[in-house]
Structure 1
Amino acid sequence: MLIILLFLAFPTFPSHAFKVDSYNFFMPDVSPTKMDAYLCTPVRVNYTSSYYIIGFEPKASMNTSHHMLLYGCTTPGDTKSFWNCGEMAVEESDESHNPCEDGSQIIYAWARDAPKLVLPEGVGFKVGGDSPIQYLVLQVHYLHVHQFRDGVTDSSGIILHYTERPLSKLAGVLLLGTGGILKPSSEVHMETACVITEDKELHPFAFRTHTHQYGQVVSGYRVRNDSGEMEWTLLGKRNPQDPQMFYPTVTDTIIRRGDIVAARCTMFNTRKKIVKIGGSSKDEMCNFYLAYWVEQSEPLDRKYCFTSGPPRYFWETGDPKLDNIPDEEASHL
């Protein structure tokens, strides 16, 4: 049964000029039985008021949780207290539902013992009220399950810090990623790019990278073509084997309509067979999360930017077709 959010005071959160409360959003003592299990649990946001999430405090360990994602949904994928939401990593006989049935967007991601995230002053994710986010869904990927024998359970999750004070700077996350394959014993560039078509000014403030074991460098850019030559501005670059937290963007830039956002994951496949993009630990992933805020406006309607990846998509041959590519910078730290 879904519950209405109950808001409790959290006095140790960094001081603000306004009241900050918190909500503990944890897995309901689950006990996954299969390796690479993805489990989701929902919570109904109080629809009578608007709330602004301004901080995320993870309560999890990489020894238990491979990664966690927090989704904002208009409608959740199921109404149970928790459900299987990892269709790539379950047997055909298992029932599985997506995190969201409608209005899916990622608002927070965590992996590799990353620390808490506090948004810039005056910035928040709007939920409840007239927001399209009427439910929050926590997804946890459990890589190993041997620790759950003999009735051991898990309550990994996130403490959400929020205010009821209206904020003019609304946060959003654009997820860039790819499909594709990694050829055996080779370096592979997995690339994606999308044109911003909405008439909004995005102010990037943080980025996060995510791959599995073969990722070496993940980089993200704003690409602009005002003078006949594409100008690349680095948003962020990281070794995805580091703690997969949100790091501050490296440049203070604005993304406008007509700009291109682009990301590359440099992978080294050390195996003698093909590795594909997928949800299990034996697969790979190429993700670049870009957190931004907009003022006196709504975040992007488009929440995801994905391409088919190699061997079908590359920056220099895809749509949009990119040139003047900073090849060395994009692939090396």
Structure 2
Amino acid sequence: MGVRHMLGAVFAVHIFIQVTCSLEVKKFPLLMPNVYPDRDESYFCTPVRVVPDKSFYIVGFEPTATMDVVHHMIVFGCSKPGTTDPYWDCGEMATSDSDPKLKKANPCADGSNVIYAWALNAKRLELPENVGFQVGKGTQIQYLVLQIHYSKKFKKHESDKSGLNLIYTEEPQSKLAGVLLLGTGGAIPPRSLTHMETLCQLKEKKTIFPFAYRTHTHELGKVVSGYSVRRDKYGVDRWSLLGKRNPYTAQMFYPIFNKSPIKYGDRLAARCTMDSSNRTDYTIVGPKHENEMCNFYIMYYVEEGTPLDMKYCISEGPPYFYWRNEENNLNNIPEEEASNLI
């Protein structure tokens, strides 16, 4: 079986989304092809080839998964997928006892960027009017790859077709969407309250308009917050809260707190407050359930040109990287606000 093509007649279903001006859209099911997770902490990927001679605009995401089966899932846009097999092992922690018939590869072999992420029974997401993720002709996104993390091994003779429906249109959208992922590496010491932080500067001469955010940690996360930071003419950093959430709530994209445009020269910052008071060993960043992650996603659109070339903003994390490090040259840091839900 070769790689599937998005928009093939077998898969496309016509539907309508009610917006200010009715927009005809279609639905494409991006699903796992009856996979069998043969061990705990399995990561599987499956690709779909976008029809190459057309442009399409994804305007919504409709999950068809539940948290009792799926820990989390991510949709990647790729120039080239990890392989063109129907599915493969795309976990960083692949072991010698995993299925020898499966290839092992990253989600993308080239041009990787996150388009959508889901966990904890998050609901359907519809993008704002006239906003869409452009894929296919005229873009670097020639494949869409679904990655699913299964926490637990399945019983024999069980299989899974979890995934999501992509809601798309062929009508050009005037505002092109993108996602920027802020995250960290690092290690969390035992019996501590630790801040995992990241920071980057917008160095492209583009203006982005944030409209949604999403947080993600594993068991230790208490609060995840994200900011845009602009220095005023007096040298004072003005921190604008983009979003803040308890990561134990449904890990969907929520409306952004501050929709002000983010411009060239502004900085973006995120903090995850981690509580390891019940652990006796260090917890490292990694893909397994007992590891940790610190992720803050910003979904945005541009009114002119293309989305950012920058797709990821990743720091070394603790004990090496903190906002307060002298080389970051930050001031006016909102210590209390960034670490507490209230």
**1:117-139: CA deviations, max 9, x gaps?**
10000000000011110000000
The answer for the alignment partner of 2:40 in structure 1 is 35
The answer for the alignment partner of 2:139 in structure 1 is 131
The answer for the alignment partner of 2:298 in structure 1 is 290
Q: Is the 8 A contact 1:47 1:130 kept in 2?
A: no
Amino acid of the structure 2 residue aligned with 1:80: D
Q: Is the 8 A contact 2:180 2:299 kept in 1?
A: yes
**2:114 is aligned with 1:109:** no
* Partner secondary structure for residue 149 of structure 1: coil
The answer for the alignment partner of 1:306 in structure 2 is 314
Deviating 4+ runs (over 6 angstroms): none
The answer for the alignment partner of 2:5 in structure 1 is 4
Q: Provide the C-alpha distance between the structure 1 equivalents of 2:333 and 2:171, rounded to a whole number of angstroms.
A: 43
Aligned-pair distance for 1:322?
1.8
Q: Is the 8 A contact 2:16 2:25 kept in 1?
A: no
**2:201 is aligned with 1:195:** yes
TM-score after normalising by structure 1: 0.97
Gaps of 5+ in 1: none
**2:183 is aligned with 1:177:** yes
Aligned-pair distance for 1:93?
6.7
Aligned length: 330
**1:19-78: CA deviations, max 9, x gaps?**
111101100000110100000000000011000000000000100000000000000001
Aligned-pair distance for 1:115?
0.2
The answer for the alignment partner of 2:242 in structure 1 is 235
Q: 1:166 to 1:34 in 2, by over 3 A?
A: same
Amino acid of the structure 2 residue aligned with 1:74: S
Q: Is the 8 A contact 1:214 1:284 kept in 2?
A: yes
The answer for the alignment partner of 1:19 in structure 2 is 24
The answer for the alignment partner of 1:99 in structure 2 is 107
Q: Provide the C-alpha distance between the structure 1 equivalents of 2:312 and 2:242, rounded to a whole number of angstroms.
A: 17
Amino acid of the structure 2 residue aligned with 1:115: K
Q: Is the 8 A contact 2:221 2:272 kept in 1?
A: yes
Amino acid of the structure 2 residue aligned with 1:76: P
Amino acid of the structure 2 residue aligned with 1:254: P
State the identity as a percent.
50
Q: After superposition, where does 1:235-254 map in structure 2 within 5 Å? A: 235-254=242-261
Aligned CA RMSD, in angstroms, stands at 1.2
Aligned-pair distance for 1:13?
3.6
Q: Provide the C-alpha distance between the structure 2 equivalents of 1:116 and 1:14, rounded to a whole number of angstroms.
A: 14
Gaps of 5+ in 2: none
The answer for the alignment partner of 1:210 in structure 2 is 216
Q: Is the 8 A contact 1:191 1:265 kept in 2?
A: yes
TM-score after normalising by structure 2: 0.94
Aligned-pair distance for 1:297?
1.0
Aligned-pair distance for 1:90?
1.8
Q: Provide the C-alpha distance between the structure 1 equivalents of 2:66 and 2:123, rounded to a whole number of angstroms.
A: 11
* Partner secondary structure for residue 4 of structure 2: coil
Q: Provide the C-alpha distance between the structure 2 equivalents of 1:101 and 1:318, rounded to a whole number of angstroms.
A: 36
